[in-house]
Structure 1
Amino acid sequence: MKPSRFHLSLALIFAALVVIAWSVRNDQGETVLSVADLPDLPAGLAPPPMVDVTVPDSFSNAEAMGERAFNAYCAACHGTNAAGQDGMAPPLVHPIYRPGHHADEAFQIAVRNGVRAHHWRFGNMPPIEGLTRADVTTIIAYIRALQRANGID
């Protein structure tokens, strides 16, 4: 097996174990797994980004706050700069997530309630614990800035 396929295989196994652990904990009525519970993958095992993302030269204050919150709560699955991670979670810098198709409230609902898989084959997204509506609003501002910088309006 090539080293790159080996690393991808390990990353996929790790992702499956995280999903199984979340399911078991959730079925037992215990606290839902939070992103903070996920261990960092070694750089060589992290799945590759799914899209190339152009990052704006600067962000507004709200967008910069959103970038920090995104990195803390979302990047473990959705990747650096919301570029997605093959086998983990989709890119949010993608025409599917443009404002005309996924309004800002869709992101709020996804974080609060989780999302049943419908556009991609990554499985369901669990609710994300520890984020307020205001936090998610800044994350949305960051994602929208990235989308605009990549021609997604």
Structure 2
Amino acid sequence: MNKSFWIIISAFALVVVGVRLYVGHSTSEPAVTVVDVKVPELSQVAALGARDFEANCVSCHGENASGTENGPPLVHDIYRPGHHPDYAFRTAAKAGVRAHHWRFGNMPPQPEVTAEEINRIIVYVRELQKENGIL
């Protein structure tokens, strides 16, 4: 088979996957998702991250990252490290993120949150996730 055939097949496959993802995400999730979160004994860094989270993230992502009517829970399988690595959290905080898993709308950039705070918040969220079986 020639190269152009494989390019066409690949492009078609990407379109099919994109349409499936778009349709699935636009209709499958409720507007509000709040989860029950078990809170572990936090490491020192995660405890600082909890404080940073409370100051910067709780109004949208809820107590212990459990979600609110304004934003999704971060203690959710969608945000597991294999699907949303740490750099995805850093990028979301610094640049914002287009809505793609939930119906909460776009997340605006959070320029007031420092890189150090973001790193501590990530440690906090990852410890919560681990305690709740999200690996």
Relative to the length of structure 2, the TM-score reads 0.75
> 1:146 aligned to 2:128?
yes
1:71: which partner in 2?
54
Counterpart of 2:45 (choices 46, 53, 62) is: 62
Where does residue 111 of structure 2 map in the other structure? 129
Q: Which residue of 2 aligns with 1:84?
A: 67
Between Structure 1 and Structure 2, how many residues are aligned?
104
RMSD: 1.2
Does the 8 Å CA contact 2:49/2:124 hold for their aligned counterparts? yes
Task: Give the corresponding residue for 1:93.
Answer: 75
Unaligned runs of at least 5 residues, structure 2: 1-31
Amino acid at match of 2:37: V
Could you list the structure 1 runs, at least 4 aligned residues long, displaced by more than 6 angstroms after superposition.
Answer: none
Gaps of 5+ in 1: 1-47
**Mapped partners of 2:114, 2:57: distance in 1:** 14
User: RCO higher in 1 or 2 (8 Å CA, sep ≥ 6)?
Assistant: 2
Q: Structure 2 counterpart of 1:98, which letter?
A: R
Contact 2:33-2:72 within 8 A present in 1 as well? no
Structure 1 length-normalised TM: 0.66
**Which of structures 1 and 2 has the bigger CA Rg?**
2
1:49, CA displacement in angstroms?
6.6
